[in-house]
Structure 1
């Protein structure tokens, strides 16, 4: 799965109608509603949209025939394996009817082109861990953790005996990272994972 790094836009004319797509990352339903409100144009004929966050999704045809706008936008999001993403496609009617198939292609295609041109970030499910280690092991532990893909040291605090690191570990690799830190420090480090 991927998410968008920032807001992206794409515009095209199809049979005299103007289509403008806006897409961006979102964290929750409230952010999706705010994005839709911010990128919808009240002077346009239609502001159709879709969003997905995990298993939750919504879409809206905004007056277009049912299933010809919002659903193709959602399919464009899903077709690019996106999560935490929203897309709004605004249409200014140009006087030529597109028909159901034409609307599906226009809305879905405009959204898909916008999403294709956007920079994406891979989503890696993580777990939080706390690593406690002595000062003598700290440099080695930090260097090895920083060298691992998708591992992030989020904070570190110091105490009389050493340091405590707050670390985000890829969920699927957490046991391997625990084993690595234990081996590196000959068992001196302590690692606390959530239950």
Structure 2
């Protein structure tokens, strides 16, 4: 009777279902103890023991040493300093050019209509200016006045203009470099017949 009941249970599938329920479940993911996460067995040592991961010690990120970083900073500071110096030099040059333009304009306005040059002047007065021998045409009276310091010669836009002593002093106050010739009274040397001072070196 027992065998008959067993046979009946096997045939009905009840016994098979009970056995499958009692069978222990395999580890999730099909992994067994003693295997590493990659699926293979651990090699050389106990499970869980492995070399630490990470970048080699001694160098910062990017592979640059501290010395390289310090050098790069030094170059950057130097470049910035040189750029600032160039900027200051350019600003100074621009300011100097502006001042020169203003001085020339002021002198031009001061001299306008007040020069004493004569188209028919028959004498030539030589003088040294800018490291070279220059000359201006004057008449006999102007030549004497220049040598006595009563008249002066001003350089303006490449021309040499004869002016009064008072006007020459005003120009000198603005820009002394524009005074081409202004003899101090009592200090003139002897002048030759050609208007050239005896002590003037050609």
TM-score above 0.5: no
Q: Which has the higher helix share?
A: 2
Higher Cα Rg, which structure: 2
Q: Which has the higher strand share?
A: 1
Structure with the bigger RCO (C-alpha within 8 Å, sep 6+) is 1
TM-score, reference length from structure 1: 0.24
